[in-house]
Structure 1
Amino acid sequence: MGATGSKLEKALGDQFPEGERYFGLENFGNTCYCNSVLQALYFCVPFREHLLDYYANNKNVGEAEENLLTCLADLFNQISSSRRKTGVIAPKRFVQRVKKQNELFRSYMHQDAHEFLNFLLNELVDILEKEANDAKDSPETPLQLEKIENGPANPQVNVVQNESLITWVHESFQGILTNETRCLRCETVTARDETFFDLSVDIEQNSSITSCLKNFSSMETLNAEDKFFCDKCCSLQEAQKRMKIKKPPNVLVIHLKRFKYIEQLGRHKKLTYRVTFPIELKLSNTVENADSEYSLFAIVVHVGSGPNHGHYVSLVKSHNHWLLFDDENVDRYDESTVQTFFGSAQEYSSNTEHGYILFYENLTSWN
């Protein structure tokens, strides 16, 4: 990316952030789903810093077993420690490890970026927890561990189950939902907490992220065959159910459900709906007596007309600059162009670039 890199450096000029690196990632045959997510994670600065600390603390460990965490740490270190400000890096070792770990990603077919993100974060957690458990009896272990609450699984969210430790992955991405059910006969409210790494929300034409989140937390009536078993009434009763964010995460990841199974077609179809998402997002009524303010810093964009083919790119905000990462290519973008990824107001449109995964940082929680 010599010419492209020089072009980017020239475009930023004196505004090029000191110590920052902007590198494209080589595509190894439909690995754009991986590259786009990696760029979003790299510019999640607290996550990146934790990963680089992990690399620094483990790089001299003799014959440590290679895993997805060590490969990712090595890749991030290659980028951050490069003498050059721009360029292209081939994440070959990391991609090979992904394919070795999960057969879903072994083919050269188009893969889903959200599935990959979900797999990656949970795999990193598993590795960190195993290392923590192995080192638990050692007084020299650097990990600080805390107890966390567990909750039942919910199909609307990606739930971290059977956790007993908080890792720095949890610190970055984990939030807590409360599932409240009110019996309409005795008015008893049953509340269950559950953890999540990202929220998957249904979308509608000409809507907004705010309305999508309101619908996610809207009241649902359970009746007929869906009645709720009330422990106090000891019987099935009509009830009202809702989901609320009890503890917002430091990084709020919102997955827009753009791929829907259409029974008449017998296949999944991409929803090109126009869904607006603001740069600054405020979550109200999520935590008692508190509002959470978020700022958008990364968007994974799906380019194409269907779920089984297409391309992924990522738009990232770094030091008040917006950059488009398209595999090997990195270009500067104007903030006003973010709205081009909202979607299409009409069902048929020549624009096929749609926001798919949104990354917001909590402005009120980072220390």
Structure 2
Amino acid sequence: MFRLCCGKYSTAVIELVADKIRSVPAPDAPSAIQDKDITAPLRYRLFGRPLTKTRKEDSKNEKENATTSDGKKKKKKKTKKGRWWRCSKKTCRVTPAPEEESPEKCRSPALEEGEPQKDGVVPQALPKEEEGGTRKKLRKDHLKCLGFPNPAQICYLNSSLQSLLTLEDFVKDIEHQEQVWSLVPEAAILRSFFNIREHHFSSDAQQKLRLLATFKKVVALWAPEFEDLQQKDAHEFLTSVLEQMRYWGPQLQVLAAGMGRTYRCPVEEHLVFKMQNTRTCKSCGAGSSREEDFTCLSLDLPPGGATVERLLENYLMEEELEYRCNCGATTSGQRSSFTTLPRVLMLHLKRFKYTPTFELQKVHDPVVLQRELVVSSSEGAACYTLVSTISHIGRNNKKWTLHL
């Protein structure tokens, strides 16, 4: 890991200096060689004798000649001579930078990047502690709790609420009709949801915890299975919340009409769509059809996994079923199709199945999520964009996580 320094530092100037090639004394004449000791080592006869003696003699001569006319001696630096076989090598020397290129004062990163100044105020420089590589610890009052607390296995509740809060138009419809549903005490599900939305970005974790507990109690009045503190299924909880909001729609519409206003159920406006199921006899071709309202489609996962588009195509494909027709045939085909399309399409992937011993088991086959999904209906086609997913972590139905 590298930390970027905000100051400017002068670069070191590197010079390659070649050592002067030392002159090697010429070999002695043949007559002189015969006069010398013939028993010298082989390395001396091949490469020559070392220059230690000549160096000592040269240094003595330099000391004698260094005397000036006044009788004073000059101090002369003694240069270290290298071996003659290293004469072809180069040494790397680093010279110090000039004084005018000394390091400048630390500037703000915003100025280095050319960021314009705001209101003529120059951004402050980084503190010295950060220049040295240390970091300050944030105090608790600097931290904000933007999520929801999870004191007792209510991650299924938190992820469902966070997913609904990402639907801005859905939330705005509830807010704009506050004057209507606030007059009905029984419509506590809308009031509780609106209070959570008001404190969504609050840093008061205790207040959020109280609001979540109230919302859980309101939902439990409709669905008692959510009354305890055990972990539940996020899809079942979200479906129950939408059913309660939708239940109070007709009563609120009557109340709004008496006030000279109109009330539009947010669930009906954004999440409800119609599906047509058509059954056709394989023998005589006789068929029947019926329409149903849905807020969510549950899709089966094939072995090996698939894309969301493929899962939806499998859901809309014709399937065979046993049905006794008036003609006497027992085999018919059933197909589902979209009659209307919602503004928000909610899909449920069946990640759990029951084993032959009636134990709940998770399906780990992969599913490829797509950013866009095109869906066709009898009224036309629409393109949907993925805004959030609620995924399960673990082997059992224990932990749910929201991804935006």
Same fold (TM over 0.5): yes
Change in Cα spacing, 1:186 to 1:118, as seen in structure 2 (3 Å) is: same
| Structure 2 residue 266 is the aligned partner of structure 1 residue 168 | yes
* 1:190 and 2:311 are equivalent in the alignment: no
Residue 96 of structure 1: CA displacement? 2.8
Distance in structure 2 (CA, Å) of the matches to 1:126 and 1:313: 28
Which residue of structure 2 aligns with residue 118 of structure 1?
A: 239
> Structure 2 CA distance, aligned partners of 1:46 and 1:259?
32
- What is the match of residue 214 of structure 2? 93
CA change 1:23–1:242 in 2 (3 A) is: same
Higher relative contact order (CA 8 A, sep 6+): 1
TM-superposition CA deviations, 1:276-300 (whole Å, max 9, x none): 110111124x335x32211000111
Question: Which amino acid is the alignment partner of residue 371 of structure 2?
Answer: I
Residues 1:313 and 2:401 are matched in the alignment? yes
How far apart, CA to CA, are the structure 2 residues paired with 1:66 and 1:143? 13
What does 1:55-66 align with in structure 2 at a 5 Å threshold? 55=178, 57-59=180-182, 61=183, 64-65=185-186
| Pairing of 1:5-20 with structure 2 (within 5 A) | none
Distance 1:180 1:5 in 2: 60
**The structure with more radius of gyration:** 2
TM-score normalised by the chain length of structure 2: 0.59
**1:138 aligned to 2:237?**
no
Q: Does the CA contact (< 8 Å) of 1:200 and 1:257 recur in 2?
A: yes
Native 8 Å contact 2:283 2:329 kept in 1: no
Distance in 1 between residues matched to 2:333 and 2:167, nearest whole Å: 37
Counterpart residue type for residue 305 of structure 2: N
Q: Is the 8 A contact 1:47 1:172 kept in 2?
A: yes
Identify the residue that residue 238 of structure 1 maps to in structure 2: 331
CA–CA separation in structure 2 for the residues paired with 1:195 and 1:3: 51
Report how many aligned residue pairs link the two structures: 262
1:4 Cα offset (Å): 9.2
Matched to 1:68, the amino acid is I
Amino acid at match of 1:122: E
TM alignment of 1:264-343, pairs within 5 A: 265-284=357-376, 286-287=377-378, 290-307=380-397, 310-316=398-404
| Cα distance in 2 for residues equivalent to 1:185 and 1:314 | 48
> How far apart in 2 are the matches of 1:54 and 1:108?
32
Does residue 1:260 correspond to 2:383, yes or no?
Answer: no
Q: 2:86 maps to which residue?
A: none
Asked whether the 8 Å contact 1:5–1:87 carries over to 2, the reply is: no
CA distance in 1, matches of 2:216, 2:403: 21
Structure 1: runs of 5 or more not aligned = 9-21, 145-166, 317-367
Give the partner amino acid of 1:41. L
Q: Does 1:46 align with 2:142?
A: no
- Give, in whole Å, the separation in 2 of the partners of 1:245 and 1:172: 15
Sequence identity of aligned pairs in percent? Answer: 23
Whole-angstrom distance in 2 between the partners of 1:3 and 1:243 = 57
The aligned residue for residue 156 of structure 2 is: 33
Residue 298 (structure 2) pairs with residue 200 (structure 1):
yes
Q: Which has the higher strand share?
A: 1
TM-superposed deviation, 1:37: 0.5
Indicate how the Cα distance of structure 1 residues 139 and 52 shifts in structure 2: closer, same or farther if over 3 A, else same.
Answer: closer
Change (3 A) 1:246 1:65: closer
Task: After TM superposition, give the deviation of residue 131 of structure 1 in Å.
Answer: 2.5
Confirm or deny: 8 A CA contact 2:177 2:263 kept in the other structure.
no
Is this contact kept in 1: 2:281–2:331, CA < 8 A? yes
Contact 1:55 1:74 in 2 (8 A): no
Provide the C-alpha distance between the structure 1 equivalents of 2:294 and 2:277, rounded to a whole number of angstroms: 12
**C-alpha distance in 1 between matches for 2:172 and 2:341:** 21
1:72 equivalent in structure 2 = 193
In the TM superposition, residue 3 of structure 1 has moved relative to its aligned partner by 7.0
Choose from 308, 314, 323 the match for 1:227: 323
* Deviation of 1:169 (Å): 0.8
- Unpaired stretches in structure 2, ≥5 consecutive residues: 1-137
After the TM superposition, which parts of structure 1 deviate over 4 Å for at least 4 consecutive aligned residues?
Answer: 2-8, 56-59
Give RMSD over aligned pairs: 2.7
Distance in 1 between residues matched to 2:318 and 2:187, nearest whole Å: 47
On the 8 A contact 1:105/1:111 being kept in 2, the answer is yes
